[in-house]
Amino acid sequence: MKSILTLLVLLLFRNLYSQSDINQAEYYFDTDPGFGSANAITVSAGNTFTLTNYSIATQNLPEGIHFLYIRCKDANNKWSLPIRKVMYIHPNLNASSPITNAEYYFDTDTGFGSANAITINAGNTLTLANYNIATQNLPEGIHFLYIRCKDANNKWSLPMRKVMYIHPNLNATSPITTAEYYFDTDPGFGSANAITVSAGNTLLLTNYNIATQNLPEGIHFLYIRCKDANNKWSLPMRKVMYIHPNLNATSPITTAEYFVDTDPGVGLANAISLTAGTTVNQSFDVVTNGLAVGNHNLFVRVKNQDGVWSVISKKVFTLTSPLSVSENMFFEAKVYPNPTTGFVTIQLAQNESIRKIEIIDMLGKIVVSQNSSSNTIDLETLHSGIYFIKAFADEKVFLKKIIKQ
């Protein structure tokens, strides 16, 4: 029986570079209504566009995961690529209920209300500016910082996650005195492009112009790092960007294709049926029969009417065992805490009812099985390592990698 993996891929093709002032902005949810037809945002013409305390109505959105898109247009009528933010709508949350509590934790969820409290003023928004979070007791290495808040109706938000790296020899009280940036290749500490900074414990780059006109067409990596008063350099922050000098933003997408792991060549991959347009929101089936159990890379690219191919979009998926045609994977769910030391909870983004949960080891063996409607399962008896959690909801299957500590 043929096995398939169903994915929803958003394909976007836009102009990537402009020196003309921004004079228009708009936003939409999930489906693009077309340039100039989305919800207008009032802006002041300029080279930058900043949204602070801007209210976007969500009361008419159904429960589940949604994508918010924001884009802007310059004086030459060139639209930017849209910025995308993922959000979750819960029907029982009262948006007018003020935030009353906030807390944070590192790596492992200690339970609602049991993490480190953050002192806040009750209100509809939570802004953490210059808030000090103690890290001195964390061991060297990569850590995950989680922040969540609770409203007056005792409803907790989803946690926001940030990745950080702890270096034992850095002095957190030493102010930042120097900053620099470079593209692609490191010229050496102190030899990159200098950024003018005011000495302090934080570095905020607002409205800072970085010249890209001399970069050749293609993918580039922007790196930014800073140095403190003790001459200790930070790890560089990296951003990926694509430079295309001749891209026509108004040329519609006409062709799309995908391949798994190995590129057969442009135009020779598996075709994706679509309706031509400047944006394409298309579901399609990815054939996985013949693939070995384990991790694989799915690549998607599109071509516009001018014959120009886009940058490849990459998604990683894990195949543990063949799925029947009726068991289509869906990704509108959340597993937490991950990593975990015991219990794991699956939070569905749609009105689905779990009927079974399986925990599978790296050899494909089912090590824990739970036949119930509970969305929580206990992994405390398992050895530390990497597993897969597989949840069955109606005729759908949710699969995600988890780490047992």
pLDDT tens, 232-268? Answer: 888 888 888 777 665 555 678 889 999 988 888 888 8
**278 lies in some domain:** yes
Give a yes or no: residue 61 inside a domain.
yes
Q: What is the pLDDT of residue 45?
A: 77
Domain boundary among 33, 54, 89: 89
Lowest mean per-residue pLDDT among 33-42, 198-207, 306-315, 339-348: 198-207
| Over residues 152-169, mean pLDDT | 79
Q: Does residue 243 form part of some domain?
A: no
pLDDT in tens, 317-353: 777 554 433 334 444 678 888 888 888 988 876 667 7
Query: Cα(171)–Cα(168) distance, rounded to whole angstroms?
Result: 8
> Average pLDDT in the 348-375 region?
79
Single out the residue in 34, 61, 89 at which a domain terminates: 89
Same domain, 219 and 276: no
Residue 354 lies in a domain: yes
- DSSP letter at 123 equals B
Do 84 and 109 sit in the same domain of this protein?
Answer: no
Q: Which residues contact 100 (CB under 8 A, 6 or more apart)?
A: 120, 122, 150, 151, 152
d(CA 313, CA 322): 24
Mean pLDDT of 88-114: 80
Q: What share of the chain has pLDDT > 70, as a percent?
A: 81
**Claim to verify: residue 58 and residue 116 sit in the same structural domain:** no
Pair 41, 64 in one domain? yes
Kindly state whether residue 213 falls inside one of the protein's structural domains. Answer: yes
Structural domain boundaries enclosing 369:
330-404
371 and 383 Cβ atoms separated by less than 8 Å: no
Are residues 122 and 81 part of one domain? no
Mean pLDDT of 141-166: 84
Residues 339, 375 within the same domain:
yes
**Global pTM?**
0.36
Last residue of a domain, one of 136, 166, 196: 166
CATH number at residue 159: 2.60.40
Tens of pLDDT along 179-193? 999 999 999 999 999
Is position 219 within any domain?
Answer: yes
**pLDDT, greater one: 205 or 199:** 199
Say if 171 falls within a structural domain: no
Q: Is pLDDT of 2 > 60?
A: no
Cα separation, 6 vs 326, in Å, equals 11
Answer yes or no: is pLDDT of 125 > 80.
no
Looking at the structure, do residues 395 and 336 belong to the same domain, yes or no? yes
Is there a domain that residue 119 lies in?
yes
Max distance between CA atoms of the chain, in angstroms, equals 64
Domain co-membership, 335 together with 394? yes
Residue 12 pLDDT more than 50? no
Quote the pLDDT of residue 106: 92
Tell me which residue of 53, 81, 63 sits closest to 242, measured CA to CA: 81
CA dihedral of 90, 94, 100, 104, whole degrees rounded to 10: 10
- The pLDDT mean for the chain works out to 78
The number of domains in the chain is 5
Q: Are residues 150 and 109 in the same domain?
A: yes
Q: What is the pLDDT of residues 193-202, one digit of tens each?
A: 998 888 777 7
The mean-pLDDT minimum among 35-39, 82-86, 391-395 falls in 391-395
